């Protein structure tokens, strides 16, 4: 019988790693484990991580070796891991770098280079890879068009062969002495340094992950000042565009003549230009399949013709969505993705790795909370019983209708009122998925409602009133999931959500994480109908919050 060691990890042969949260050294082991494994389950005492090919390839890009990973597992394991675990890790991490993308000066394009001719032959025969490759240059090299740089990496990753992109970048138009006027916090400076890498060794491309309220925008602005190049910033909405522009003028030496907004309201191309994903990827309905690809996306062609030196993708986790993927055609000198979480329920995180770059920096939420950079938060799930009538309606409904019935249950309305009474005098954001439900709540509370159909002027008025403390309660649809700065909102009530999306949970929690001027604690409530589909989806959200170190309390509605 194997004698247990003092370590907090149990490493299984299927690359699942269990972390005993109460064991000595658990916090240190968790920090190390997060560098190369993904959290899957997180109940109270034992957290379940999985070491995946993508998690190992992300680690490899950042300089971690297979031996580094194996050393962590050996030193922190409660029982000696099976040799097969170490072999699998070594083999998977060893795949990174066997295929490389380099500049090919003979063709003024790129070349895919393999360490062995047999490997190149193998991948070149794949039906998905073959159309993306050009002429065979020699036994180890094949030509790749510049515009196919992203798709080639994307397709090869899907085959299990991550590409080391060593092709460098085109030089964009330079700016004149842009300065960052605000001092970066220590973790922001670390994030910038991890992304930039002094501009060498593949630096200047990749993703920075920071919680909402931790100042991702300032990291983006510092990246502009570091590269000193013409920059395109892609945002989720016009509200986000204008928020970025305000922060740009506040925190940098750039002037109003230097920054431009490209939206349905304004058409300005300036040295620093802000555009929404939707505007960038607007498709011309008159497009003919025989036309050039960019003829279908006239705005994309317009921006593709500019000499950008940097593209900043705000909320970069949105990029893999099919309609947004076309933005990867813009060839920039550098790419920076910003997000609160790379988690996607469709498993497309690998597309961000291929199109933007690896995760360069990730800061634990509760670590920033302990340092006072984001507000401490109490996360509470309120379980609500359906009436017998509504329970019967739910029981006989088809599967598609069940989620909506549970999410919009009328029994949630008095709970909303009770929570508002409990938090009298505080600013409250009520967030939901279904507009009919939100209209009913807004009418009940005599509070304004902002949805996707609300005009931009009205949206700005409501958000400004909330920022200024003139509005105690605002009801919002899922448009509040992204890039809205509401620093003094201390309470968020989630009345309905999108099938337990962990990414959505991160964004909604982030709305209340800005440090409060009085140092108060933020409260995040989720209202969940008991014994329904909604309860099942809630487990996903609990998993995400536990990963970030938050305790997730479940209480019964009064």
* Of 211, 207, 240, the residue nearest 482 (C-alpha): 240
* Helix intervals (H) in 77-136: 83-95, 117-124
Question: Using CA atoms, how far apart are residues 166 and 383, in angstroms rounded to an integer?
Answer: 52
Please give the residue that has the higher pLDDT: either 260 or 280: 260
Segment 35-93, tens digit of pLDDT: 899 877 766 688 889 999 999 998 998 889 999 999 999 999 999 999 999 999 999 99
Is residue 390 scored above 80 in pLDDT?
A: yes
pLDDT score of 371:
79
pLDDT digits (tens, 9 = 90+) for 347-387: 677 888 888 888 888 877 767 877 778 777 788 889 999 99
- The confidence band for 491, taking pLDDT boundaries of 50, 70 and 90, is confident
Q: Is the pLDDT of residue 170 over 80?
A: no
Half-sphere exposure of 33 (CA within 13 A, CB side): 32
Residue with tokens 């999931």: 481
Residue 507 has pLDDT above 70, yes or no: no
Question: What local confidence, expressed as pLDDT, does residue 445 receive?
Answer: 94
What does each C-alpha distance from 165 to 96, 106, 275, 351, 358 come to in angstroms? 10, 18, 27, 14, 11
Instruction: Determine the pLDDT at residue 171.
Output: 77
- Separation CA 76–CA 350 (nearest Å): 28
pLDDT band at 547 (very low <50, low <70, confident <90, very high): low
Lowest mean pLDDT among 244-258, 439-453, 534-548: 534-548
Percent pLDDT > 90 in the chain is 44
Return the pLDDT at 223.
96
Cα 278 from Cα 319, distance rounded (Å): 11
Q: How far is CA 321 from CA 120, 154, 239, in A?
A: 29, 13, 21
pLDDT band at 483 (very low <50, low <70, confident <90, very high): low
Return the pLDDT at 160.
Answer: 93
Give the mean model confidence (pLDDT) for residues 309-319.
87
Report the DSSP beta bridge partners of residue 475: 430, 449
Average pLDDT taken over every residue of the chain:
85
100-104, 275-279, 545-549: which range is least confident on average?
A: 545-549
**How confident is the model at residue 546, as a pLDDT?**
66
pLDDT in tens, 134-147: 999 888 999 998 87
Mean pLDDT of 117-122: 94
Residues 295-321 have a mean pLDDT of 82
**Residue % of the chain over a pLDDT of 70:** 86
Q: Where are the alpha helices (DSSP H) in 446-532?
A: 456-467, 502-510
Given pLDDT bands bounded at 50, 70 and 90, which one contains residue 510? low
CA atoms within 13 A on the CB side of 270: 18
CATH number of the 186-363 domain: 3.40.50.300
DSSP state of 416: H
- Residues 397-445: pLDDT tens digits? 988 889 899 999 999 999 999 999 999 988 888 988 899 999 999 999 9
Q: Residue 289: what pLDDT? A: 63
CA distance 148 to 110: 9
| pLDDT for the residue numbered 29 | 92
The residue with greater pLDDT, 308 or 295, is 308
Question: Do β-strands 377-384 and 449-450 pair in parallel, antiparallel, or remain unpaired?
Answer: unpaired
**pLDDT value for 68:** 96
Question: What does the alpha-carbon distance between residue 128 and residue 158 come to, in Å, rounded to a whole number?
Answer: 10
173-179-184 Cα angle (round to 5): 120
In this prediction, residue 336 carries a pLDDT of 95
Question: Does the 369-556 domain belong in CATH 3.40.50.300?
Answer: yes
pLDDT 10s digits, 213-259: 788 999 999 999 999 999 999 998 888 899 899 999 999 999 999 99
- Per-residue pLDDT, averaged over 314-333, amounts to 73
Instruction: Please report the pLDDT score of residue 101 as a whole number.
Output: 92
Q: Which pLDDT value is given to residue 340?
A: 79
Higher pLDDT: 452 or 483? It is 452
Contacts of 27 (CB under 8 A, 6+ apart): none
Q: What six digits make up the tokens of 366? A: 């509760």
């Amino acid at each position: 019988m194997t004698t247990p060691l003092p370590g907090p990890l149990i490493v299984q042969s299927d690359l699942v790693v269990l972390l005993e949260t109460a064991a000595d050294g658990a916090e240190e082991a968790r920090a190390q484990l997060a560098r190369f494994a993904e959290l899957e389950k997180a109940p109270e005492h034992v957290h379940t991580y999985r070491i995946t090919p993508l998690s190992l390839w992300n680690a490899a890009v950042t300089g971690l070796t297979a031996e580094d990973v194996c050393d962590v597992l050996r030193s922190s394991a409660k029982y000696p891991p099976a040799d097969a675990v170490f072999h699998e890790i070594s083999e998977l991490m060893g795949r990174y770098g066997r295929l490389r993308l380099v500049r090919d000066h003979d063709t003024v394009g790129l070349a895919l280079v393999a360490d062995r001719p047999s490997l190149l032959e193998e991948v070149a025969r794949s039906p998905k890879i073959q159309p993306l490759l050009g002429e065979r240059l020699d036994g180890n090299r094949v030509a790749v068009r510049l515009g196919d740089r992203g798709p080639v990496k994307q397709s090869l990753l899907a085959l299990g062969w991550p590409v080391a992109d060593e092709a460098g970048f085109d030089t964009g138009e330079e700016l004149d002495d842009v300065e960052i006027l605000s001092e970066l916090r220590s973790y922001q400076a670390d994030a910038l340094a991890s992304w930039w890498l002094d501009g060498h060794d593949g630096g200047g491309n990749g993703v920075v992950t920071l919680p909402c309220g931790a100042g991702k925008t300032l990291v983006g602005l510092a990246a502009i000042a570091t590269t000193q190049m013409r920059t395109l910033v892609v945002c989720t909405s016009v509200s986000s565009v204008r928020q970025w522009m305000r922060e740009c003028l506040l925190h940098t030496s750039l002037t109003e003549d230097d920054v431009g907004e490209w939206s349905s309201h304004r058409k300005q191309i300036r040295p620093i230009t802000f555009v929404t994903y939707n505007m960038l990827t607007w498709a011309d309905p008159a497009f003919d399949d025989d036309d050039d690809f960019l003829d279908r996306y006239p705005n994309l062609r317009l921006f593709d013709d500019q000499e950008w030196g940097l593209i900043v993708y705000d909320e970069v986790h949105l990029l893999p969505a099919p309609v947004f993927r076309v933005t990867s055609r813009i060839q920039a000198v550098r790419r920076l993705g910003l997000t609160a979480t790379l988690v996607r329920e469709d498993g497309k995180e690998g597309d961000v790795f291929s199109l933007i770059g690896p995760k360069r920096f990730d800061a634990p939420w509760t670590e920033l909370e302990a340092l006072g950079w984001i507000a401490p938060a109490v996360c509470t799930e309120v379980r609500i019983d359906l009436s017998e009538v509504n329970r019967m309606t739910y029981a006989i409904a088809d599967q598609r209708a069940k989620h909506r019935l549970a999410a919009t249950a009328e029994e949630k309305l008095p709970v909303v009122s009770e929570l508002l009474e409990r938090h009298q005098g505080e600013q409250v954001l009520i967030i939901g998925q279904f507009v009919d439900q939100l209209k009913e709540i807004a009418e009940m509370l005599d509070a304004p409602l902002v949805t996707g159909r609300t005009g931009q002027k009205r949206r700005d008025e409501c958000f400004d009133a909330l920022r200024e403390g003139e509005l105690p309660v605002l009801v919002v649809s899922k448009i509040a999931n992204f890039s809205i700065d509401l620093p003094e909102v201390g309470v968020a009530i989630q009345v309905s959500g999108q099938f337990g999306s962990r990414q959505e949970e991160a964004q909604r929690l982030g709305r209340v994480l800005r440090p409060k001027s009085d140092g108060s604690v933020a409260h995040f409530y989720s209202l969940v109908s008991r014994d329904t589909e909604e309860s099942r989806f809630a487990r996903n959200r609990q998993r995400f919050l536990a990963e970030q170190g938050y305790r997730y309390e479940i209480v019964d509605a009064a």
